[in-house]
Amino acid sequence: MDTTLRGVGVSHGVAIGEVRHMGTAVLEPPAKQIAAGEAAREQGRARQAVDAVAADLTARGNLAGGEAQAVLEAQAMMAQDPELMADVERRIAVGSTAERAVYDAFASYRELLAGAGEYLAGRVADLDDVRNRIVARLLGVPMPGVPDSDRPYVLVARDLAPADTALLDPALVLGFVTEEGGPTSHSAILARALGVPAVVALPGAGELAEGTTVAVDGSTGEVFVNPSAGKKAQMESAAAERKAALAASTGPGATADGHKMPLLANVGGPADVPAAVEAGAEGVGLFRTEFLFLDDSKNAPSEDKQVEAYRQVLEAFPEGRVVVRVLDAGADKPLEFLTPADEPNPALGVRGLRTLLDHPDVLRTQLTALARAAEGLPVHLEVMAPMVADRADAKAFADACREAGLRAKFGAMVEIPSAALRARSILQEVEFLSLGTNDLAQYTFAADRQVGAVSRLQDPWQPALLDLVALSAEAARAEGKSCGVCGEAASDPLLACVLTGLGVTSLSMGAASLPYVRATLAKYTLAQCERAAAAARAADSAAEARSAAQAVLSGE
């Protein structure tokens, strides 16, 4: 009899195969002492290893492109952090070997993050991965990472660092399962971009024996251990039916009774555009522009460089809608030339629009670049600000857009509960709202989006989060303006129906999710979606909300 484990499904699809575990982490180096005359040599070894690892991470990012590139370049910056490197050299100067100094310096920084309330806990996996790579190079042992295999398998790990997830080969990695992580972690987002079925926050995942056959359902979060022949056949049949339904579903997004629901793509740069076009995206609902700024943490990209990158995306959607989010720096995306280094809690500090208003020259250059990039194109450009808290924020952003000569709609992201509660006030200054459900959940429930232990509170089915979505949509409708969703909530086909029922006017997601959402929406009428939304809001938990909506839509 098969055993069923339950985690959080973060990437659609079914994977059936044997378990292969991620390569083990680097062992702790011995704490032996070096002679005083060897310090300079050891410091040189440490610098060479750090530079080599940073170059490797950057190269992986260039190969992966898009969102993965931005994440990996941020990791490369972490490897070369000057304060960390200074700590490594200090430890070597008092007798540590290069590998031991790296290990201890990273351990100290790790403790610092934990002591600050784990506001950057999602970066711990990234930090550990950088440390392991540097230490492995110094010790001359193989890098930790994806196992070598000539047969397809299901990858199991405690957590997956972005460097591993970004270059997964979908031909070999059928799916993956992690013990840590959450629905909006970097690995979850990249898994959806790859189209690899994935389940995260699965208790006991590390105890699955190597070679065990598992069946992974990335939609429900279920993992069946040693599934029976009947269970395998059932899942394969369901997957085949789903694939056929996806192939038959084309054209603009709409409900069964013709209510239009534009389906847009989230992109991290030009590299993500081909997949979005192929999936039939009607435009871009979230163009993350951070990838340009992560190339050099000390300097902003030139206006000409920005124009070139923006135009590549705008040209891909003639007559379509492209919603650009201006630079969202701070918190887990620090930039040396912009963000303070000594904030006690960056997640609640100067980030997003607050950072840009403190550096109006950076905002002005980006807005001017967007205006130039759109010149002569028939695209419908819309530009929005992240982390808008109130009407004053919205006005400051709209004023900056006008001063830059931007001919576009100006909008505000709803990521802070205050913005949802005062949405009508904010809409006096801007022309549309866009709900970033990932951060909105984080701030509503005081639950870091990267911490697996609080993934329950990051579930976009939480009724309190649905209430905030409804408030925003109602405000937009009252003002005759639009309110879309660009957070990962839109990638859940069932939840997409509920969001439609709540009154949102567009849905944006990773390209791989578009066919699933399009096919599911087409099965139900707007009235059914509205009834499902009401049932979900009446529930007391995320699980009950999902079950209630499912019951309504299945006619139970």
User: Rounded to an integer, what is the distance from CA 178 to the centroid of its chain?
Assistant: 16
Q: Indicate the pairing of strand 213-217 with strand 14-21.
A: antiparallel
Helix (H, G, I), strand (E, B) or coil at 416: coil
Determine the Cα–Cα distance for residues 514 and 263; give it in Å rounded to an integer.
7
CB contact set of 329 (below 8 Å; sequence gap of 6+): 290, 293, 335, 338, 339, 351, 352, 355, 356
Nearest residue to 246 via CA among 66, 14, 460, 68:
14
Q: Which residue has the tokens 């000057």?
A: 82
Give me the helix-helix angle, 124-139 and 66-79, nearest 10°: 60
Q: Classify residue 506 by its DSSP letter.
A: E
**Residues 284, 276 contacting (CB under 8 angstroms):** yes
- Please, what's the b/e burial string for 384-409 (b: 16 or more CB within 10 A of its CB; e: otherwise)? bbbbbbbbebbebbbebbeebebebb
Quickly count: other Cβ atoms within 10 Å of residue 467's Cβ: 14
**Active-site choice (186, 401, 483, 529):** 186
**Active-site choice (12, 401, 483, 486):** 486
Give me the helix-helix angle, 437-445 and 463-479, nearest 10°: 120
186 catalytic? Reply is yes
Helix (H) or strand (E) holding 218, with range, is none
Q: Classify residue 523 by its DSSP letter.
A: T
Q: Classify residue 251 by its DSSP letter.
A: S
SS (H, E, C) 137-171: HHHCCCCCCCCCCCCCEEEEECCCCHHHHHCCCCC
Determine the Cα–Cα distance for residues 551 and 544; give it in Å rounded to an integer.
10
CB contact set of 431 (below 8 Å; sequence gap of 6+): 382, 409, 410, 411, 481, 482
Amino acid present at 478: A
Helices and strands, number each (H, E), in the chain: 23, 16
Active site residues: 186, 486
